[in-house]
Chains A and B, each alone.
Chain A
Amino acid sequence: MHSDALIALLPFLMMTATAVAAMLAIAIRRNFALVNGLVGGGIVLSLLSLAPASHRAPVQVTELLRMDDYALFFIALLLLAGLAVLGLCHDYFKEREGQNEELPILLGTALLGGSVLAASSHFASLFLGLETLSISLFTLIGYPVEQRRSLEAAVKYLILSGTSSAFMLMGIAFLYAESGELSFGGLGRFIASEPAMNAVMVSGVVLIVAGLGFKLSLAPFHLWTPDVYEGAPAPVTAFIATVSKGAVFALLLRLFVETGGYGFAPLRPVLSLIAVLSILAGNLLALLQTNVKRLLAYSSIAHMGYLLVAFIAGAAIAKPLVAESVTFYLAAYFITTLGAFGVVSMLSSAQLEAADMALFRGLFWRRPYLAGTFTLMLLSLAGIPLTAGFIGKFYVFTSGADGGFWGLLTAIIVGSGLGIFYYLRIILAMAMEVEKIEPESEEKFVGLQSAVTLVVLSLLLVWFGVFPGDLIPYIHALAGSFGK
């Protein structure tokens, strides 16, 4: 049992060791490529160590962590996303002044936090994971210290994230005060034994939903998103959009299934309202954006709204189907978002962050491959068939329709319609003929690692869009064992 637990924890141990080793490497010699390689190697080792861990799954490691197939899949997803971001970071930061060596370490610790979240089955590990993730993110967002916007974004994220953590802690304290339980399972048993929830429990649940809603940037708590996405360096934005949100969503689903939160009827209208608001607000605000990073930020708000619909459907349909929909959608969303921000990151130079729509005008004629990749990613975000985004949206629809949530589905349809407009607007801008070829001395910045990352992401996007059957069996298996 003891060695089982240790083997199950191997991915976490690897990541921790990587962070410490990379730190010592900096102490000996400052070299960006070296640290990058070290952290990349560490992530690969953690990925490999998932295999022995999966033989032992499901293992409950102390009361805090539950390493089952669900957790392992999400850890793998997060680590792969981390690897992609690391590749983008390498090319993005290698030309820049300053000491960039700490950046990979921070990515590693953020990944560790996210992975702990995906595996946590206890409020203590939830909070530990969340804070490890957020505190690494503050520094990552503000990493280019000389740039005003990054600093502003970092301070905004620090304050708002701190507030939301405080909300969540208060909520956890309320739940604990009533039930005397901090583990999800224990809380579930307490809720099941109580005929009705009292005011303290309700306030606790509401506070926790608010806290998690902030991390997922769902509608009433979304105000930080565009500013932070805009200010953060493009690869870090990709990281926030994928790893931080994916980990929190994985946690949210586990929290709800294990505590029996679905049985708590008053929460359903609240969540439905949040989902509809996110879809509408995200899509409407994205319509007239001229900044691509802000546009993608609003689109990510909308996507979290879609995902929440599949999540809400869990009240009426079987839990494995919910887990399957959410997991597939997140996987597709990860690939797409990483790709989209990857293009922005590749276009950015040390002097200029490529966020303005004007910079994308006529991109097809200047950088055809990059523009093609971006088009692919945008089509997937819009949910056009033959991309992974379509299958993801199909899953969301299936879940919603199975549960009979027609109002929410209407919101998705309206949102998707709006979405197509602004995604196509970027594609149109990229296809536009530019009259004068500017005498831009902008040297074609091509990073090998970014290029490889983007190619892999594009291939995955199309592969899972055309042959979703290659991914679905795994997700189906993990979903089947989830929540037992």
Chain B
Amino acid sequence: MIAEASPVSHILPLLVFFGAIFALTAVMLGGAYFLGQRHRTPRAEEPFESGIVPTGDVHLRFSVHFYLIAIFFVIFDMETVFLFAWAIAVREAGWTGFIEALIFIGILIATLIYLEAIGALDWRTRRQRREADRRQHGSDACTGP
């Protein structure tokens, strides 16, 4: 109530606080900028890694499969969320609720069958799969030449 009655006095400490943060940051960054020495050599641009020369690039490429699996996880996780909600009210929902839950689960099972059939749950990359296929029924082809 006091806060609502006098908002200005309430805000003042906050403003001082923010002002102090800005001032401090400005002093730290600006001080280093103005007082620090500068030298331009190729090595100076590299990140400092405790004296070890950095290797490689930060732009790592993830297999798209990671995202697929993550999305499937979210989808099927949501299934449980809905089922929990139903489980709490299972008596009140009665047989109608049961049938509805069955349909819901049925559709998800159909989805799972579909995902399995199109190979979306296969962790291997396309190349690995091809090589595995070749190893399986291509052993004679390998020994041929």
Of all chain A residues, the one with the shortest Cβ separation from B103 is: A16
Chain B residues within 8 Å of A, Cβ to Cβ:
106-107, 110-111, 113-114, 116-118
Question: Shortest beta-carbon distance, B94 to chain A, in Å?
Answer: 12
Given contacts A20-B107, A23-B110, A27-B116, 8 further A-B contacts (CB under 8 A): A16-B107, A20-B110, A23-B111, A24-B110, A27-B113, A27-B114, A27-B117, A28-B117
Question: Shortest beta-carbon distance, A5 to chain B, in Å?
Answer: 11
| Residues of chain A with a CB closer than 8 A to B116's CB | 27
In the docked arrangement, what's the CA distance between A20 and B112, Å? 11
A26 touching B118 by the CB < 8 A rule?
yes
| Residues of chain A with a CB closer than 8 A to B110's CB | 20, 23-24
In the docked arrangement, what's the CA distance between A20 and B111, Å? 8
A-B pairs, 5 with minimum CB distance: A27-B117, A27-B114, A23-B114, A20-B110, A27-B113
Chain A residues within 8 Å of B, Cβ to Cβ:
16, 20, 23-24, 26-28
Of all chain A residues, the one with the shortest Cβ separation from B116 is: A27
**Total inter-chain residue pairs, C-beta < 8 Å:** 19
| Residues of chain A with a CB closer than 8 A to B117's CB | 26-28
A24 touching B113 by the CB < 8 A rule?
yes
Which of A16, A24, A26, A27: most chain B Cβ within 10 A?
A27
| Residues of chain B with a CB closer than 8 A to A26's CB | 114, 117-118
Which of B110, B111, B114, B117: most chain A Cβ within 10 A?
B114
A27 touching B107 by the CB < 8 A rule?
no
In the docked arrangement, what's the CA distance between A27 and B106, Å? 15
| Residues of chain B with a CB closer than 8 A to A24's CB | 110, 113-114
Question: Shortest beta-carbon distance, A484 to chain B, in Å?
Answer: 30
Q: List 18 A-B pairs, Cβ < 8 Å.
A: A16-B107, A20-B106, A20-B107, A20-B110, A23-B110, A23-B111, A24-B110, A24-B113, A24-B114, A26-B114, A26-B117, A26-B118, A27-B113, A27-B114, A27-B116, A27-B117, A27-B118, A28-B117
| Residues of chain A with a CB closer than 8 A to B118's CB | 26-27
| Residues of chain B with a CB closer than 8 A to A28's CB | 117
In the docked arrangement, what's the CA distance between A24 and B107, Å? 10
In the docked arrangement, what's the CA distance between A28 and B113, Å? 9
Question: Shortest beta-carbon distance, A108 to chain B, in Å?
Answer: 14
| Residues of chain A with a CB closer than 8 A to B113's CB | 24, 27
In the docked arrangement, what's the CA distance between A20 and B105, Å? 12
| Residues of chain A with a CB closer than 8 A to B111's CB | 23
Question: Shortest beta-carbon distance, A91 to chain B, in Å?
Answer: 24
In the docked arrangement, what's the CA distance between A453 and B110, Å? 32
Question: Shortest beta-carbon distance, B12 to chain A, in Å?
Answer: 28
| Residues of chain A with a CB closer than 8 A to B106's CB | 20
In the docked arrangement, what's the CA distance between A23 and B115, Å? 9
| Residues of chain B with a CB closer than 8 A to A27's CB | 113-114, 116-118
Question: Shortest beta-carbon distance, B118 to chain A, in Å?
Answer: 7
| Residues of chain B with a CB closer than 8 A to A16's CB | 107
Question: Shortest beta-carbon distance, A95 to chain B, in Å?
Answer: 22
Question: Shortest beta-carbon distance, B111 to chain A, in Å?
Answer: 7
In the docked arrangement, what's the CA distance between A24 and B117, Å? 9
Question: Shortest beta-carbon distance, A10 to chain B, in Å?
Answer: 15
In the docked arrangement, what's the CA distance between A28 and B117, Å? 7
In the docked arrangement, what's the CA distance between A23 and B112, Å? 10
| Residues of chain A with a CB closer than 8 A to B107's CB | 16, 20
In the docked arrangement, what's the CA distance between A23 and B110, Å? 8
Question: Shortest beta-carbon distance, B141 to chain A, in Å?
Answer: 26
In the docked arrangement, what's the CA distance between A198 and B86, Å? 38
In the docked arrangement, what's the CA distance between A24 and B118, Å? 11
In the docked arrangement, what's the CA distance between A437 and B107, Å? 55
